[in-house]
Amino acid sequence: MTHYWWKILSAILVVLAVVVGLKTPLSPGIPSTSPDRLNNGVTSVKITGYNTHFTEARESVSIWIENGDSRYCPYEVNVVSDTEIRATFSITGQIQEAFFDLYVANAIDGTLYLPSAFLQDGLEVVSDPNKTASCEISPQKGDESFNFPNQPILNETIRNLLYHVPSWFAMIFIMLISLIRSIQYLSGGNLVKDMGASAAAEVGLIFAFIGLATGSIWARFTWGAWWVNDPRLNGAAVAVLIYLAYFVLKSSVNDDAKAARLGAVYNIFAFVMMLVFVMVLPRMTDSLHPGVGGNPAFSQYDLDDNMRLVFYPAVLGWIGVSYWMYDIRERMSKLTFKKMALNE
């Protein structure tokens, strides 16, 4: 029973990450406005909130938009429901930037922010406007409770971080196991080690497919396409192809010992290439993924503290589960090997 403890632990961590990841409420936010343009003159807009408490905090609701150095307040605000506000702005003359950032504050939700909420329509955009507008604002601090950040465009899909990213962590971990087994085979010549290496590569590929499939769906509804030409996506796809080639190579050689030796050498090459394509190259260029283009991932700007609290156990849990899957596959390979040895 003693060697089951890490399996039970990783199962508990995964279940916990799924339950907490789905049950934790999203913090209040403003997903959209309509229309998303501000005319030269008077414009009435509908501001849609998510998980907001506009009617409950009706007295403290304040709205403003910012454009460059200028700040505009609506001259009429009408709270329709908990998630809907109608506001009327009057903007004329020159402005500094084409987009307006929207701020909505109230005592319960705090200050909510939607960058580039409105596009200007018919106004004059100049780098140095002849006047700047200003008005009184009242930023608020909302209730602090355990919730996930509400990011524009991402919205609820920020939870996917807990299912999509750990599968890549598990994949890299299991490929590392595969590399170790291959090196052990090359130094000792024990065919069981090579079987372990291909078992690990197989489990790693499963997690790569999970990562690709979940990422593809996530991309469709946030970036707008099933596949985008992002360095990280293409790198991951190439890494998967490299490992598929490992299996093709192994199955194309008839002599078992030769196939094992070729496969083990190729596997070392494959791991290095996988690291280059998944970890190194995407960081050297700009990407849609957070944490790329210079700064390492999981900096304080990319990952919220509450998300971290669930994300790290999820990563540990999935690494444990992937090792468990590999463990079962390797024991099966050992059985096959025993049978082969008996027959000879």
Partner 1 sequence: MNKAFKYTIFLFLVLSTTHIYGQEQADWLENTMFQSGKINVVVAVVAILIIILFVYLFTIDRKLKKIEEENN
Q: Candidates 55-63, 125-133, 148-156, 280-288 — which segment interacts with partner 1 by CB under 8 A?
A: 148-156
202 in contact with partner 1 (CB under 8 A)? yes
How far apart, in Å, are the Cα atoms of 193 and each of 68, 199, 259, 289?
A: 63, 10, 13, 36
Query: Are β-strands 124-125 and 94-95 bridged in parallel, bridged antiparallel, or unpaired?
Result: parallel
Which is closer to partner 1, CB of 261 or CB of 329? 329
Which is closer to partner 1, CB of 67 or CB of 182? 182
How far apart, in Å, are the Cα atoms of 133 and each of 68, 72, 73, 92, 122?
A: 10, 6, 9, 10, 18
Which is closer to partner 1, CB of 257 or CB of 328? 328
223 in contact with partner 1 (CB under 8 A)? no
Distance (Å, rounded) from C-alpha 273 to C-alpha 314?
26
CB of 249 to partner 1, least distance (A): 10
What DSSP element (H or E) covers 223? Answer: none
How far apart, in Å, are the Cα atoms of 222 and each of 157, 183, 216?
A: 8, 41, 10
Two tokens, residue 167:
């599968």
Which is closer to partner 1, CB of 116 or CB of 251? 251
96 in contact with partner 1 (CB under 8 A)? no
The SS3 call for residue 124 is strand
Side-chain-side CA neighbours of 89 within 13 Å: the count stands at 26
Two tokens, residue 122:
């018919």
CB of 159 to partner 1, least distance (A): 5
* Residue the block writes with tokens 């009327």: 88
Q: Which of 217, 257, 280, 309 binds partner 1 (CB under 8 A)?
A: 217
CB of 294 to partner 1, least distance (A): 28
15 in contact with partner 1 (CB under 8 A)? no
Q: Which of 100, 103, 163, 173 binds partner 1 (CB under 8 A)?
A: 163
Query: Number of residues in contact with partner 1, rule: CB under 8 A?
Result: 42
Decide if 129 contacts 70 (C-beta within 8 A): yes
24 in contact with partner 1 (CB under 8 A)? no
Q: Candidates 111-119, 139-147, 155-163, 180-188 — which segment interacts with partner 1 by CB under 8 A?
A: 155-163
Which is closer to partner 1, CB of 22 or CB of 98? 22
**By CB under 8 A, what part of segment 242-301 binds partner 1?**
244, 247-248, 250-251
Which is closer to partner 1, CB of 146 or CB of 209? 209
Distance (Å, rounded) from C-alpha 111 to C-alpha 86?
17
Which residues are registered as beta bridge partners of 65?
72, 102
Decide if 148 contacts 158 (C-beta within 8 A): yes
**By CB under 8 A, what part of segment 37-76 binds partner 1?**
50
CB of 19 to partner 1, least distance (A): 11
Task: Return the closest-CA partner of residue 18 out of 151, 159, 206, 147.
Answer: 159
Decide if 28 contacts 105 (C-beta within 8 A): no
Q: Which of 96, 184, 190, 216 binds partner 1 (CB under 8 A)?
A: 216
CB of 235 to partner 1, least distance (A): 17
The CA-based diameter of the chain, rounded to the nearest angstrom, is 92
Which is closer to partner 1, CB of 135 or CB of 225? 225
**Is there a cis peptide before residue 35, judged by omega within 30 degrees of 0?**
yes
Residues near partner 1 (CB under 8 A) are 18, 22, 26, 31, 50, 154-157, 159-160, 163-164, 167, 198, 202, 205-206, 209-210, 212-214, 216-218, 220-222, 226, 244, 247-248, 250-251, 325, 328-329, 332, 335-336, 339
